[in-house]
Amino acid sequence: MKRKLLPEELSSNPVKYREPVIHGVPRFPMRVYENDFSWYTDNIIDWHWHPEVEFAAVFSGRVECHIGEDVFEAGEGEGFFVNASTMHMERPAGGTWPHMVTVCFMPEFIGDCGSDLIYEKYIAPVLADSSVRGKKLSGGSELQSEILAAVKEIFRLSNSKEWGYEFRCRNIISELWYRFILDFRSELTGCVPAEPGGLPEKRLKDMLTFIHENYRNELTVADIARSANISLSECFRCFRRLISSQPMTYLNEYRLKKAAELLISTDMQVTEVCFASGFNHISYFGKVFRRHYGVTPGQFRRNEKI
C-alpha cells in the first residue's frame, strides 16, 4: 500500500528521479497498491517514473492521469496502463476521493529479459515502442474489462495472501498481458528499441532529477537547462510540452511540497522549514505558501495535527 513518504526518504533517492518506492522484491518483482490520495502532499501522486509497467483500476470516483502531455480521466469500472520508464502523474478528478488500485511489475516477471522468446516477441515490442506510453482502459471493451477484472483479482489475492497466491498472481499477470497486447497489437509500430517519450522526455527527466537533488540551493533556469545540456528555450519547451509548467514554477511548487512535508513530519521552526526547503526569505516563503495552500505555514501545521 502506498503511503506518504518521509522527507528523508524522498530526498535520499539517488536514481534519476525514479519513484523511491521499490515495487516488490527481486525474487518477486511485483507489488499492489491501494491508493489513498489524501496521503500525498497536495493530494497528488506527483510526476514520477519507474522501470515497472503499471496497470490501474478505479473502484470509485474519478482519477485524472497525465502521461507526458496526454491527459485522460478514468472513472469507476475504468483504469489505465502506464509503460515502463514513462513519466506520469495522477490526481483526483471531481468532488469525491477516488479509490484506485495499481499493480506494478517488472517485465521479467512474465518473461526473461535475455533470450526468452516470450519476452522478445510479446513484451519487448511494447516496451520499445515510444508511441505506447500509456492507455486508458475502458470497461466498454471486453478485453479491457478482463484486464481490469484481473487487476481487481490480483488486489484480492495480495490482501488474502492465501497459500500459493504468488503463483496465481504471476499467472493472472501473464493472462492480463496477453489480453493487453491482443487489444492493442494493431497500435504497435514495431519500431527499434528507444527510450519511451524520446529525447524531450529524457531531457525533462534529467532536469527534474537535478531539481529534486538541488532544490535547497539557489537555482536559476540556466542551471536547470545546463543539467540537461540544452538551451534556455529548449528547457522552457520541454516543461511546457510535457508537464504544462515552467521551470521556476515547478521548482517553487516542489519546494512548497517539501516545506509542507517538513511541517507535518517534523518539529522544525517555520523559519528552519523555510531555509530547509530552499527559500531565502521568510516573508516571501509565508506569502507564496499562503497563496498555494490558503493558510500560513503555522496554520497548515496546526490543521494537519488536528
Antiparallel, parallel or unpaired: β 30-35 and 63-67: unpaired
CB count, 10 Å around CB of 99? 16
Report which DSSP code applies to 193: P
Looking at residue 100, what is its pLDDT? Answer: 94
Same-domain check for residues 38 and 153? yes
Dihedral (CA of 123, 168, 24, 26) sign:
negative
261 domain residue, yes or no: yes
- Point out the domain boundary residue: 158, 187, 216: 187
Looking at residue 109, what is its pLDDT? Answer: 85
- Domain limits for position 137: 7-187
Tell me the per-residue pLDDT of 146-157, one tens digit each, with 9 for 90 and over: 999 999 999 999
- The helix (run of H) or strand (run of E) holding residue 80 is strand 79-82
Looking at residue 187, what is its pLDDT? Answer: 64
Tell me the per-residue pLDDT of 232-291, one tens digit each, with 9 for 90 and over: 999 999 998 888 889 999 999 999 999 998 998 899 999 999 999 999 999 999 999 999
Same-domain check for residues 124 and 18? yes
Looking at residue 271, what is its pLDDT? Answer: 95
Same-domain check for residues 87 and 144? yes
158 domain residue, yes or no: yes
CATH code where residue 101 lies: 2.60.120.280
Looking at residue 62, what is its pLDDT? Answer: 93
Same-domain check for residues 172 and 215? no
Cell numbers that stand for 282 in this block: 521568510
Looking at residue 197, what is its pLDDT? Answer: 52
Cell numbers that stand for 153 in this block: 483479482
Same-domain check for residues 55 and 150? yes
The answer to pTM > 0.75 is no
Looking at residue 50, what is its pLDDT? Answer: 87
* Helices and strands, number each (H, E), in the chain: 12, 9
Looking at residue 14, what is its pLDDT? Answer: 31
Same-domain check for residues 265 and 143? no
Same-domain check for residues 52 and 156? yes
Looking at residue 93, what is its pLDDT? Answer: 92
Distance CA 33, CA 251 (A): 28
- Point out the domain boundary residue: 187, 216, 233: 187
193 domain residue, yes or no: no
In the predicted model, residues of the chain with pLDDT beneath 50 are 1-24, 190-196
Question: What is the number of structural domains in the chain?
Answer: 2
Looking at residue 119, what is its pLDDT? Answer: 83
